[in-house]
Amino acid sequence: MPLYLNDDQKMLHDSTVEFMKGEAPVSHMREFRDKQCKDGFSHALWKQFAEMGFTGILIGEDEGGLGLGHVEAGVVLEEIGRNLTPSPFLTTAVAGVEALNAGGKALRDKYFPGILSGDTVLALAIDEGAKHRPDQIGMAATREGNGFKLDGKKQFVVQGGSADMVLVAARTSGKAGDEKGLTLFAVDTSAKGVSRDNARLVDSAMAAHMQFDGVLVDADAVVGEVDDGDAVLRRLLNAGRSGAAAETLGVGSGAMDITVDYIKGRSQFGSLIGSFQALQHRISHLYSEIEVARACVLKAQQLLDEGSASADMMVSVAKAKAGKATALSVKEGVQMHGGVGMTDEYDIGLYMKRDRALQEFMGDVNYHTNLVAEMQGY
């Protein structure tokens, strides 16, 4: 499949670019950062996302959505990254919806209407340590009557403080590290025994450390099959990782664009610094890295939409490559801005902060590089 957008996807891209420029530019992010918004994002903007149809991109047409795929979701996410837009789109409309698509109709009927209207926010409670290690999930879910009792802690739950429902990966059998024995649960955050300790991340987004003390859920809360949640979890992780790669790509592209604009207008030694060959070479190299990352991300999304068996590996390639290219972009951006690049007066520092948060979400460059190596037999 060609590594470029088709005509319909280009139309979505153009409308998304205009929407983000008008409703959610970088100044929007600054506004919510400066007023220390408790949720870290605008609920009014989330409603506008719904009106644009963004929240229903991965929801089937028969259930009120657009019935599109990961490529289209990536189009929106890249512009979210480019504009540093604070939004629960990735956790809710991408990873969350993908998990619910693998679950039963009762759960979709319960949560999809709120997602489509922009009233519902979902969060993902996967990690239990300082790093993304989904193979080490140890949180316990024990049988209790006709349901389960959840006990344990989850860390780095992005949007956890504002979520109406959280998708919780817990162990119904076996021990941490076992391939089987995982089950995914849809847990309402209003349930008794759920507590949240909110934390503001480096990019001013909100996450939560969550505690589950004897939280009772009935069997209808199970997403997929008991003890066989690895299949659903893989779908959730692939959606989240490819989505995070697309948003990271947007951050890198946005940082590169503002850096190019800056060196075209900044004079030093009587000349525009953009005319210096050394900087031109560095920008050219950066552009090449960003475009390679863009190809990786698009290929991963295409493979996910095709249901390809090789999607897992390509998703990790995309997450790693987008992470490396964007880390280079924000570092070069700060360097080429000079000392002012470290001040809040210019936006480049905000791009560096968003990059750091996205690097950790769903696994950093080293994690995914190692995953690819293991898939290749190393």
188 SS3 class = strand
Q: Considering only the top CATH level, what class is 7-121? A: mainly alpha
36 SS3 class = coil
Q: Rounded to whole angstroms, how far apart are CA atoms 117 and 51? A: 7
pTM above 0.85, yes or no: yes
- Name the residue ranges covered by the structural domains of the chain: 7-121, 124-227, 231-375
- Give the pLDDT confidence of 237-256 residue by residue, as tens digits: 999 999 999 999 999 999 99
Q: Rounded to whole angstroms, how far apart are CA atoms 53 and 47? A: 10
Contact 151, 140 (CB under 8 A): yes
Q: Rounded to whole angstroms, how far apart are CA atoms 122 and 166? A: 6
- What is the fold, at CATH topology level, of the domain defined by 231-375? Butyryl-CoA Dehydrogenase, subunit A; domain 3 (1.20.140)
Provide long-range contacts, Cβ within 8 A and 24+ apart, for 9-15.
9/71, 9/72, 9/75, 12/72, 12/75, 12/76, 13/75, 13/79, 15/52
Burial class (CB in 10 A: 0-12, 13-18, 19+), 363: buried
Instruction: Give the CB-side neighbour count of residue 337, counting CA atoms within 13 A.
Output: 25
Instruction: Give the CB-side neighbour count of residue 363, counting CA atoms within 13 A.
Output: 27
Mean pLDDT, rounded, of the chain = 96
Q: Rounded to whole angstroms, how far apart are CA atoms 347 and 287? A: 19
Q: Rounded to whole angstroms, how far apart are CA atoms 187 and 208? A: 15
Give me the tens of pLDDT residue by residue for the chain, a chain 378 residues long. 789 999 999 999 999 999 999 999 999 999 999 999 999 999 999 999 999 999 999 999 999 999 999 999 999 999 999 999 999 999 999 999 999 999 889 999 999 999 999 999 999 999 999 999 999 999 999 999 999 999 999 999 999 999 999 999 999 999 888 888 999 999 999 999 999 999 999 999 999 999 999 999 999 999 999 999 999 999 999 999 999 999 999 999 999 999 999 999 988 888 998 989 999 999 999 999 999 999 999 999 999 999 999 999 999 999 999 999 999 999 999 999 998 998 999 999 999 999 999 999 999 999 999 999 999 999
Contact 145, 131 (CB under 8 A): no
Q: Rounded to whole angstroms, how far apart are CA atoms 238 and 95? A: 8
Q: What is the pLDDT of residue 212?
A: 98
Give φ, ψ of 315 to 5 degrees: -65, -45
Strands 165-171 and 122-125: parallel
Q: What is the pLDDT of residue 178?
A: 87
Give φ, ψ of 293 to 5 degrees: -60, -40
Return the CATH number of 124-227, one of 2.40.50.100, 2.40.110.10, 3.20.20.450, 2.60.40.10. 2.40.110.10
Contact 46, 54 (CB under 8 A): no
Residues composing the chain: 378
